[in-house]
A and B are shown apart, each in its own frame.
Chain A
């Protein structure tokens, strides 16, 4: 006898309830992870935002013979302790470069000392009472203000927080990544092409495949040790250089690129290969003219993600000495250099609150770059994705 709708519905109710419950639980999981992300990013923004601002003071600067010899004399004694030492240091060069300034007195904005900066941001009060009074007067006159911190984006590290910037670390990162990509993109893609398109499917290639997958799971610090042992100790590549850092990261990124390229190649339907073989293509022609063009977006996406991973890597680079103190960036891949995550690491170990905000600011810059790279990967995938 068949069941009535009532009977069936009674039983269904329980099933529907369960699926509703599952829906809420899965949605809860999503909300939880989204919440973590929001908290993390907003915390970083709140802490890092001040790093993009810098206190500046409007003062009278007299460019005369005395201040050329003794830069401290260029400004009034009262405000002198409020101004960054970096300003005084740069003064003689400025006068040398602009002789027409000689003998004039200019009213201009100069970078304030980090104690002023921190005081104005309400973080730390390490000013002497007398200086504080001078500062308050300046603030009332509108001659002390927080302005956009261009220095942060144009200079390298410094012992003076108000002069420390991310630029040389960013250049170091770019150089390192160039080395990494130059090494592991061609090698990785060619290895994957060989394994997917040319190699016979035998024990040896299976063994290689397993080992490549294992390699991708090796903790990155081990690659740092390997880099130290091989590149620095054996081949004598200069320590701390983008060359050694890039080569070390290449070891780490190579399996990622091989694996993602193989996946991209494997996702090309065999019907395309058959069509190409059918018209008399040689194996390489099949790969070059038909398989690679179709899988290129996938290969690029995988490589960019591998690159982004390498870019955030710190441990192996610390081992090969890329935590150097680099005030001025060099664009040679053999000179000592640092990278963004290592710079962040350096700043994070400073006790000073001025450096703490640099840490968060640096993280924001790094995050922005990584988000940009990932967005680029997604965009590439969508733009060139084809149906066949």
Chain B
């Protein structure tokens, strides 16, 4: 009975229809509410579909790193990707903002859909996509610029602000949302790299949310941080999901249990189980997920 959830979840979806709303401007529309609700959904919360992935396959040259991944990611939730290292979590995450484009050997087949638009379609500009899908990396990587510039750079580049006052306001808001404002408000013009690791990571989060994306991808955002900074970031993720959809990779099962609404378990390039986190950690449907979660595996 292990795979029923997954099968139900997959079969209840409409087949992908890439050009449903092609005529509409994708970025002024709210995400379309999803009708086909998978059984794993928390029925009590009104949720929208944010990203839809169908039969996604990815190869690094001859090596297949992702096999037939299908998953729905819901707006304003935290989705955690767990699994042993090398199972393709980061690779999958990078499919959502096409960071894999930077790797020459990659070839992709399948559908990644946002707002009814195939992100891999020829007409999709990866710059536009990344404007809506921000990313936070494993190792904090602030630009070698001032704290202020780190946050202001992207909005300015995307022509979101024209006046200096607007820009200041936007920087303050992003830093406040990232819970960093009080710590840095007196040293906005010091280099971002002068902050502690945890602060740098929150600066990177501020940088990502400054352009008001829909989705924020986080690839093991706390794996380089101490426990206290980790807790701060986890709290932050919980607050941020009010405004953003968060997809995070984590090595740390407790972290997934603490922050995620949904958890997807990956293994050897396949997605074995996708479930509400509570369900996943109390009563997983698949043996592999259970073994992994209980520590009998990887």
Contact = CB atoms under 8 A, between A and B. Distances in A.
A275 B134 CA distance: 10
A289 interface: yes
Nearest to A200: B104
B104 A279 contact: no
A307 interface: no
Contacts of B127: 280-282
25 contacts: A200-B104, A201-B104, A271-B137, A271-B141, A272-B144, A274-B135, A274-B137, A277-B99, A278-B99, A278-B134, A278-B208, A279-B154, A279-B207, A280-B127, A280-B128, A280-B130, A280-B154, A280-B157, A280-B158, A281-B154, A282-B127, A285-B157, A289-B153, A290-B143, A290-B144
Given A272-B144, A290-B143, A278 B157 contact: no
Nearest to B193: A388
A13 interface: no
A271 B142 CA distance: 9
B99 A272 contact: no
Contacts of A200: 104
What does DSSP make chain A's interface, helix, strand, loop or mixed? helix
A277 to B, nearest CB: 6
Given A280-B130, A290-B143, A275 B157 contact: no
A280 B211 contact: yes
A279 B130 contact: yes
Given A275-B137, A280-B157, A386 B104 contact: no
Nearest to B98: A277
Contacts of A290: 143-144
Nearest to A202: B104
B114 to A, nearest CB: 14
Contacts of A201: 104
Contacts of B102: 273-274, 277
A388 B134 CA distance: 21
Q: How many A residues are at the interface, by size bracket?
A: 20 to 34
A267 to B, nearest CB: 13
B139 A278 contact: no
B171 to A, nearest CB: 14
Interface in B202-228: 204, 207-208, 211
Contacts of A294: 144
A276 interface: yes
A293 B191 CA distance: 14
Contacts of A271: 137, 139, 141
A282 B131 CA distance: 11
A93 interface: no
Interface of A: 200-201, 269, 271-282, 285, 289-290, 293-294, 386-388
Nearest to B135: A278
B153 A387 contact: no
B263 interface: no
B137 A279 contact: no
Contacts of A293: 144
A278 B137 contact: yes
Nearest to A201: B104
A290 B153 CA distance: 11
Interface in B80-98: 97
A273 B131 CA distance: 16
A386 B134 CA distance: 26
Q: Which of B102, B129, B141 has the most CB of A within 10 A?
A: B141
A274 B141 contact: yes
Contact of A279 (B144, B191, B193, B208): B208
Contacts of A269: 141
A387 B144 CA distance: 8
Shortest 8 CB-CB contacts between residues of A and residues of B: A279-B154, A271-B141, A280-B130, A278-B135, A280-B131, A275-B141, A388-B144, A280-B127
Given A269-B141, A275-B204, A285-B157, 9 more contacts: A271-B137, A275-B137, A275-B142, A278-B134, A279-B130, A280-B211, A290-B143, A294-B144, A388-B142
Contacts of B131: 280
Contact of A276 (B134, B139, B143): B143
Interface in B109-168: 127-131, 134-135, 137, 139, 141-144, 153-154, 157-158
